[in-house]
Amino acid sequence: MTPRALIEFYRARLDEEEAAVRDCILSYEPNVGEGDVDEIATRRAVLDAYERAVAQDDERAAGLGLAVQYLASHHGRHADYREEFRPLRR
């Protein structure tokens, strides 16, 4: 698995989720609010930390990468999801 492919895949999914949440907020959908935007921002922060760690060859890259794999696996049925993104299960 290349880190770049996982980063690009997950960033695109976060962008899609955020756009959908913002649309729901604008149309006053019940049970959707700024807390949902905050939750996406938190997952984006983990992804950003992983991207920086990869770029800097930081020792934290492996652990952050595993976290991102688990987060991205939520989108395992997406057409662009690759089986190589799936975290190893033991």
27-51 mean pLDDT: 94
- The rounded distance, in Å, linking the Cα atoms of 58 and 77 is 31
- The rounded distance, in Å, linking the Cα atoms of 17 and 23 is 10
DSSP 25-68: HHTT-TT--HHHHHHHHHHHHHHHHHHHHHHTT-TTHHHHHHHH
- The rounded distance, in Å, linking the Cα atoms of 68 and 84 is 13
- Asked if pLDDT for residue 13 goes beyond 70, the answer is yes
What is the per-residue pLDDT across 43-85, written as a single tens digit (0 to 9) for each? 999 999 999 999 999 999 999 999 999 999 999 999 999 999 9
Note whether 70 and 8 are within 8 A (CB).
Answer: no
pTM of the model: 0.91
